[in-house]
């Protein structure tokens, strides 16, 4: 009799402690969002799910922000000891993780665990070609007089030159640290130094915004993509390491864009698509997309200085990839799909968009940067987007004119000539109009 009572109290499924745990987990579940599975096949037998499977709603996010804030103020530590400011873990530390735990998915999904070969700098020949290509792109851009530049972008270009050039030669040390030590007005680089202050506590408090965004964005992003979202080590930026993922505002934003593209387009990931990112910066979004469209060719159009960063960033992340640059197409007037598909990536200055043949691009992307261009430049790009795109155009841009910084039109003022069937039309967490359109095959519609 005694043994049966002991079994019921301490070992059975329905022991009293398990009932208390069920009640605790039941009330705790009110802090979880809809992406968290919380159920059991037995009645009144809920158990705590691993932290790596929990995604918090508004009330849950408030709780984890408060608990982390208190822990930082009192102990200068995050509430979870496996969360830390990541200023670039050595590769051997990553590889030393031999078993799973409740704090991250297992096997680990984070992209940084897939990028095992990006630790070596490219050879000198690669950089010499970058230097020659840059000189050539400068000539192309200067000859294109109808491509106007905002004063703000002129300032950014000069800052890029000061940071990455030294007597007509690339400053390789600055390039290696381009997301850590670059002083510039450019937002795409400043994101890398968001967690770079002299006060450790302040860094950790600022990092809480990334934990908050991670859980907030989980409600709108496919978890397969969110679990993999992790910023690259290339450029030596500082991130928050949370659930074995290197989090930055940029990589979380890109994971959302990538999720939307995968969810709402009908692009076949196993086919060789052509994807264009206009104003793709150093290639953050393109890097993420390449993991899902492995067989595709991805093209970036950027200012000459940014093409250097993109070529370097993508080469470090994909050492075996074949990367095409403007010099490779110097003697080609029109790039057709067959020529484009010889490359994994193609990185070109703005005027080279005119080389792309009509109706061959499966997906054309512009996120945020179109609103930073002059009206004439926006119209120039839109005309070419409508010309080269066969299927989809994905845009995330501010809706209205912003006079104080850019004095340029917004998305509402874009004069579309073609007919587009709307697949997405939202107002995003970045305060922009999100539009995904599929090009109509019937011009009369």
What are the structure tokens assigned to 91, written together?
A: 């590769």
pLDDT at 407: 80
Is the model's pLDDT at 31 over the cut of 50? Answer: yes
What are the structure tokens assigned to 185, written together?
A: 């007005």
Q: What percent of the chain has pLDDT over 70?
A: 93
pLDDT at 6: 66
Is the model's pLDDT at 93 over the cut of 70? Answer: no
Q: Measured between alpha carbons, how far is 177 from 170 in angstroms, rounded to an integer?
A: 13
Q: Report the CATH architecture of 268-439.
A: 3-Layer(aba) Sandwich (3.40)
pLDDT tens by residue, 312-364: 999 999 999 999 999 999 999 999 999 999 999 999 999 999 999 999 999 99
**Mean pLDDT value of segment 37-53:** 91
Q: Measured between alpha carbons, how far is 22 from 35 in angstroms, rounded to an integer?
A: 20
pLDDT at 445: 45
**Mean pLDDT value of segment 368-388:** 94
Q: Which of helix, strand or coil describes residue 439?
A: strand
**Mean pLDDT value of segment 211-231:** 97
Q: Measured between alpha carbons, how far is 432 from 422 in angstroms, rounded to an integer?
A: 16
Q: Which of helix, strand or coil describes residue 197?
A: coil
Taking residue 317's Cβ as centre, other Cβ atoms within 10 Å add up to 22
pLDDT tens by residue, 129-155: 999 999 999 999 999 887 888 887 888
The residue ranking higher by pLDDT, 119 or 338, is 338
Q: Which of helix, strand or coil describes residue 182?
A: coil
Domain ranges of the chain: 2-49, 124-190, 268-439
pLDDT tens by residue, 32-41: 999 999 988 8
Q: Measured between alpha carbons, how far is 316 from 234 in angstroms, rounded to an integer?
A: 7
Q: What percent of the chain has pLDDT over 90?
A: 73
pTM: 0.93
Q: Measured between alpha carbons, how far is 325 from 348 in angstroms, rounded to an integer?
A: 6
DSSP β-bridge partners for residue 365: 277, 394
Q: Measured between alpha carbons, how far is 14 from 46 in angstroms, rounded to an integer?
A: 11
pLDDT at 188: 76
The CA-atom distances, in angstroms, between 28 and each of 21, 25, 38, 44, 52 are 10, 5, 10, 14, 15
Is the model's pLDDT at 294 over the cut of 60? Answer: yes
The CA-atom distances, in angstroms, between 140 and each of 59, 306, 339, 383 are 54, 15, 21, 19
CA 239, 111, 171 angle in degrees (round to 5)? Answer: 60
DSSP β-bridge partners for residue 166: 169
308: closest CA among 140, 184, 126, 121? 126
pLDDT band at residue 115 using 50, 70 and 90 as cut-offs: confident
Q: Compute and round to an integer the Cα radius of gyration of the chain.
A: 25
Contacts 24+ apart (CB under 8 A), 89-96: 89/233, 89/241, 91/116, 91/119
pLDDT tens by residue, 394-429: 999 999 987 777 788 999 999 999 999 999 999 999
In degrees and rounded to multiples of 5, residue 407 shows phi and psi of 50, 50
């Amino acid at each position: 009799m005694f043994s049966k009572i002991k079994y019921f109290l301490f070992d059975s499924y329905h022991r009293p402690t398990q009932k208390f745990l069920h009640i605790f987990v039941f009330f705790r579940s009110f802090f979880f969002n809809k992406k968290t599975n919380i159920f059991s096949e037995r009645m009144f037998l809920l158990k705590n799910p691993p932290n790596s499977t929990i995604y918090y709603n508004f009330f849950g996010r408030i709780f984890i922000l408060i608990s982390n804030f208190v822990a930082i103020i009192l102990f200068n530590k995050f509430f979870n000891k496996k969360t830390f400011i990541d200023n670039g873990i050595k590769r051997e530390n990553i590889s030393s993780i031999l078993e799973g735990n409740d704090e991250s998915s297992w096997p680990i999904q984070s992209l940084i665990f897939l990028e095992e070969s990006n630790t070596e700098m490219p050879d000198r020949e690669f950089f010499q070609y970058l230097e020659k290509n840059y000189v050539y792109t400068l000539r192309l851009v200067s000859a294109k007089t109808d491509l106007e530049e905002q004063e703000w972008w002129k300032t950014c270009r000069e800052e890029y030159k000061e940071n990455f050039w030294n007597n007509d030669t690339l400053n390789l040390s600055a390039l290696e640290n381009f997301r850590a030590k670059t002083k510039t007005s450019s937002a795409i680089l400043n994101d890398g130094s968001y967690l770079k202050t002299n006060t450790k506590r302040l860094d950790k408090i600022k990092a809480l915004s990334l934990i908050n965004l991670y859980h907030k964005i989980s409600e709108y992003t496919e978890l397969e993509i969110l679990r993999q979202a992790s910023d690259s080590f290339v450029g030596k930026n500082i991130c928050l390491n949370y659930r074995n993922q290197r989090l930055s505002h940029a990589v979380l934003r890109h994971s959302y864009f990538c999720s939307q593209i995968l969810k709402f387009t009908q692009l076949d990931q196993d086919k060789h698509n052509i994807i264009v990112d206009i104003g793709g910066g150093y290639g953050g979004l393109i890097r993420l997309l390449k993991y899902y469209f492995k067989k595709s060719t991805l093209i970036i159009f950027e200012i000459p200085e940014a093409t250097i960063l993109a070529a370097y960033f993508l080469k470090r992340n994909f050492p075996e990839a074949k990367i095409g640059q403007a010099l490779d197409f110097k003697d080609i007037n029109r790039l057709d799909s067959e020529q484009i598909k010889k490359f994994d990536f193609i990185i070109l200055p703005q005027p080279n968009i005119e080389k792309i043949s009509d109706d061959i691009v499966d997906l054309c992307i512009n996120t945020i940067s179109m609103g930073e261009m002059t009206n004439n430049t926006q119209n120039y790009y839109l005309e070419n987007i409508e010309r080269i795109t066969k299927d989809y155009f994905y845009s995330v841009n501010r809706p209205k004119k912003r006079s104080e910084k850019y004095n340029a039109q917004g998305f509402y003022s874009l004069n579309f000539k073609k007919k587009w069937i709307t697949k997405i039309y939202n107002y995003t967490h970045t305060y922009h109009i999100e539009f995904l359109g599929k090009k109509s095959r019937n011009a009369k519609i």
